[in-house]
A and B are shown apart, each in its own frame.
Chain A
Amino acid sequence: MGERGEETLRTYEEINEKIKRGDATVMTADEFVEYAKTHGVEAAAKEVDVVTTGTFGAMCSSGAFLNFGHTDPPIKMYRCWLNDVPAYGAIAAVDVYLGAAALSETRGLEYGGGHVIEDLVSGRVVELRGEGFVTDCYPRRYVETTITLEDLNQAILLNPRNAYQRYNAATNTTDRILYTYMGTLLPRMGNVNFSGSGQLSPLYKDKDFETIGVGTRIFLGGGVGYVIGEGTQHNPQNGFGTLMVRGDLKGMSSRFLRGATIHKYGVTLYVGVGIPIPIINMRVARSASLSDEEIFTDVVDYGVPSSNRPSLRKVSYAELKSGKIVLNDRSVPASPLSSLKKAREVAETLKKWILDGEFYVSKPVELLPTYRELKPLKIKGIEPRVKDIMSKNVITAKPSDNVQYVANLIVRHGIDHVPIVDEENRLVGIVTSWDIAKAVAQNKKSLQEVMTRRVITAKQNEAIDVVAKRLSSYGISGAPVVDEKNHVIGVVTTNDLAKLLEGKGYL
């Protein structure tokens, strides 16, 4: 075992010499995997100088620094909008940062920062609006004009977190359709969505970060970019390494940079990232030869509203890419969210650049950490749970009770929800004051006829926000709180939630 990053097979200089002479051997990761399978990794490592990789996926943690140039009289722009999408202006007078996930203040989810970046790269005209902080040296209060990419002094794509080594695959065990950042998830594990390009994925092809580091020259959005460090949430010891990258927007193309809307989730930017892996030693060669059969990720249940979602099983990218995976003995359709077609195109383009002598590999100035703790955000102070706001004095009824009796209960106690329970206080249904009013109007007598049997419930230790979202997504105003054995121990209503907000001074 030598040092990480040691150049025992070939040096960066030797590779660049070959690129210059036009006799470097370059393969895409797909080709290298095949070559290593048939000829063995040793032979492949001897033969091949550089392996090119690629990925093309939604990378929300992206954005661009823009410099507009000074107006006359000058303005210190502290608020700024591009096509109605707010950009962060609290940096020097005419610099802003436009985040890919920022939403248009007029069009909402339909249009956002990612789309502005695509429009700029496509050469389209973008409306600029800015508000000034007036000072003696910056007297202007307001600016409104249009810009194109060409007009800008600098337009630098700078993405804090790109190119996740791998990502979880997503499914949904609940009984309703979910719209997540992992796409549309059908109820009852109706489908699986996955991200990442498996054996083409840049960070899997050098999984110990021996060649990818600060200063590595890469393919970014159709142009040339650089790795400037580890990405945020870099967590390489668990296979979740990430990169921070930058590149000149002016050299990029909308073929590899696309604004997108993930339905009911938000706006993002699809980014094409390709990294050349110089085969400097055997460990790098072995990593670059990993095939889809050897690269695994977890299938995670996005129906669980917690950041600790359970993994249902491990799955290889080979199985995911086959279009079907087995979950609970059932074959479930699986498809990628990131484009494998474009990922391949990225790797092919990068290969061509190198073969044409237009792109040289660069030795990192500094290697990236291979271990980084990933800490959650601890909430200090006490967050209320369902048990803190629910009414514990529950008025219940039996299925055998009649409508008139329940109507009386509702009036006497001034309540809207009456859980229906069996002899052991186990939940079997619910009626609301509305159900009862309707039953009286229609002259129905028996509770059995009017009660709802599939009841939406809450648990006492659940977070309030989760229950609030559940109530609103089912369009209901309250839910019984049950324990593990389905005993009714309380009722939580939208009224209780309103009271909580009032107490906090939110209303």
Chain B
Amino acid sequence: MKKLLILIFIFLISKASYSQVCCGGGVYDVAVLSLNKRALFNVGYKYDNNLGVWDSDKEWRKISQTSYQMTPAFSGAYRFNKEFQAGILIPLVINKNELPGLPSDGSGIGDVVLSGRFEIFHEYSLYKDKGKILTDKKTPYFAVTFGMTFPTGKSDEEAQSEVGISGKGYFTTSLGLSFIKTILKDKIQIGSDVNWQHSFTKTYEKYYGESVPPYERRQGERFNYSVTANYLLNFYNSVSFSLGGFYQSDYSINGTGISNSDESAFSMVASYTWYPKTYVRVSPLIKWNIPNTGYGKNATGTVLYGLNLVYYLENLEDL
């Protein structure tokens, strides 16, 4: 199935908040297995530099002091059959802060993510018509995606200061849809991902390690979206560009919604991928927010540089 050099790789862009409790922080992406791949191992690295925040009036507030986050991560994915693949992401979170008088370093294991996808349609699948084997050139790739984030990192309940935060401290689940359509075979693909992320209530009995009267906090419902265009330069190189963002409803404390605490942000991702072999992928990426008033609300704006090294196990037998 060498025709399947389609090299599907879209990113399941999910956001996790680490360095600032409220707002989007680290980003990871989990590579997706195309039909001719059995498994992947990914070593990734992210460097996320905080530029400022949008306030509740959507006004951009630049910060001059540097705070940043580095996230080396290991991820893997396995294809069980033609319809189902699952993955895991294990990040390590390293925070730096240059504000005078405050702790400047912290690190820890981040929140572990399990994800999966049921693939309902694949592109270019074969079918029989009146005894002839034909290729379906119309149907797009379509999958239902789901995931769960486990609070394995250290949250603001246990951490001693902001730089010690490596996780959210609560479970989240996600459910979404993923489409890919080839516009020009072996040249141009477009794709889209949408997902709904639900967070579970966290009860705080401590805050930064100090006892407090217990209270419950829950993040709002979050809706993530992205549209990606992928251009294959040749068999060894491709570039992609994606626009994405999220909207999150008001968070609540002790069951009461806090008005005007909804969040949103908009971002762009550009990436390049080099395939020295069919089973190796090297992909640097840059993700940035537009640091201007009106492009976000109650969220941090960052510029992120990333690098992913992926090793694939290819399918030895047809699925």
Co-complex (A, B): no
Query: Chain A interface (Cβ within 8 Å of chain B)?
Result: none
